[in-house]
Amino acid sequence: MKQEKEADLMDKLIALCKQRGIIFPGSEIYGGLANSWDFGPYGALLKNNIRQAWLKHFVTSRDDMVLLESGIIMNPKVWQASGHLQNFTDPLVDCKKCKKRFRADHILEQRSLKPGYDKESPLDWSEIHCPECGGDLTEVRLFNLMFKSHMGPVEDAGAEVYLRPELAAGMFTDFKLIQQSKRLKLPFGIAQVGKAFRNEITPGNFIFRTREFEIMELEYFVKPSDWEKAFANWLDLMKSWLKSLGVAAKDINLNEIPEGERAHYSKRTVDFEYNYPFGLKELYGLAYRTDFDLASHAKFSGADLTYTDPETGEKFVPHVVEPSMGLERTVLVTLLAAYHEEDAPTAEEGETDKRVVLKLPKHIAPIKVAILPLSKKEELAKVALPIAQELR
């Protein structure tokens, strides 16, 4: 019963977002595109306000942070050095009967089974069947999530490029130039907000998982011995950020990711999980990436990406703590936290109607002030218009 009520909340929110022009299906007059969503007038304002609030909370209010805007398309060698071409994969299974595709780990989660696949020894799926039709499933194969394209007029292997699947790479490849041009001393961070693209096997749940999305991410560079202190500080900052959006602490779970399930670059990862109507799922991630990225890019490019301590003269490759936050998921949890139904009085004495209210924090609300003159009083409208213009 509780699950039905929570699922109903998701349906209500999706309907409300479309009705009020907040978020709605993209290219709908052509039948839409699977899991493509457009942000309407109020949604675009809300999203931008959250983006600006994030920049203030994590970047512009601090002396140790700088901002970057790197390109969506980068030299393909970047993704070879970062490990994405080899490791940025999800486990995929196909149904032999209905031909639908699924993420293997999601099927196992639904059955409360621990993932038991890897590149060398895939799991025997003979006892596990398609969640849609009950048909037999194929063996697991790893599917690379990167969108491939071509640059220039000839579509050959030499012209292959990729849409970035994350923002981190630009901050690593530009690390040395930014550090030297700004004369930055450790610890310091580089932040970026922008689009990323992942060819997800099973996108869904409204704007929770989409193939085109926006990330708010930063790389914080520290001495190797200082990473634990930095990790704890950013963990607290991420908690306070969610509180500022009206997200209740009781709806957040911190999940320490075990070694075998972490990304290839991480030595420690804590996932912020949110209690969505469709279950406890990932919201944000905080990772200790060690010196993996800078060391890899230095090796593949031949560039010197070391840092020289101005006090001791010691040269070393900085280590990195990375808070990563999806903007669309932030919008989603903000709307879920703000959604309220109230009994509002009607014109009939003693009668009430259900009224939906989004109780958004004022600093991110799309509309801050409404000037509402009585429509039949022309003289009030003449006074209200300049007031509204002055408040803009």
3-class secondary structure for the chain? CHHHHHHHHHHHHHHHHHHCCCEEECCHHHCCCCCCEEECHHHHHHHHHHHHHHHHHHHHCCCCEEECCCCCECCCHHHHHHCHHHHCEEEEEEECCCCCEEEHHHHHHHCCCCCCCCCCCCCCCCCCECCCCCCEECCCEEEECCCEEECCCCCCHHHEEEECCCCHHHHHHCHHHHHHHCCCCCCEEEEEEEEEECCCCCCECCCCECCEEEEEEEEEEECHHHHHHHHHHHHHHHHHHHHHCCCCHHHEEEEECCHHHCCCCCCEEEEEEEEECCEEEEEEEEEEEECHHHHHHHHHHCCCCCEECCCCCCEECCEEEEEEEEHHHHHHHHHHHHEEEEEEECCCCCCEEEEEEECCCCCCCCCCCCCCCCCCCHHHHHHHHHHHHHHC
Check whether residue 118 and residue 200 sit in a common domain. no
- Predicted TM-score (pTM) of the model is 0.87
Check whether residue 128 and residue 180 sit in a common domain. no
Residue 347 domain flag: no
Check whether residue 132 and residue 256 sit in a common domain. no
Residue 120 domain flag: yes
Reported as a pLDDT band with limits 50, 70 and 90, residue 260 is confident
Reported as a pLDDT band with limits 50, 70 and 90, residue 134 is confident
Q: What is the mean pLDDT of the chain?
A: 90
Check whether residue 129 and residue 248 sit in a common domain. no
> Is pLDDT larger for residue 374 or for residue 209?
209
Residue 224 domain flag: yes
Check whether residue 174 and residue 299 sit in a common domain. yes
Residue 158 domain flag: no
Range of the domain at 392: 367-392
Check whether residue 268 and residue 172 sit in a common domain. yes
Check whether residue 182 and residue 248 sit in a common domain. yes
Residue 250 domain flag: yes
Check whether residue 187 and residue 50 sit in a common domain. yes
Residue 356 domain flag: no
Residue 179 domain flag: yes
Residue 344 domain flag: no
Domain count within the chain: 3
Check whether residue 61 and residue 96 sit in a common domain. no
For the ranges 103-107, 175-179, 364-368, the lowest mean pLDDT is seen at: 103-107
Check whether residue 116 and residue 66 sit in a common domain. no
Reported as a pLDDT band with limits 50, 70 and 90, residue 120 is very low
Reported as a pLDDT band with limits 50, 70 and 90, residue 141 is confident
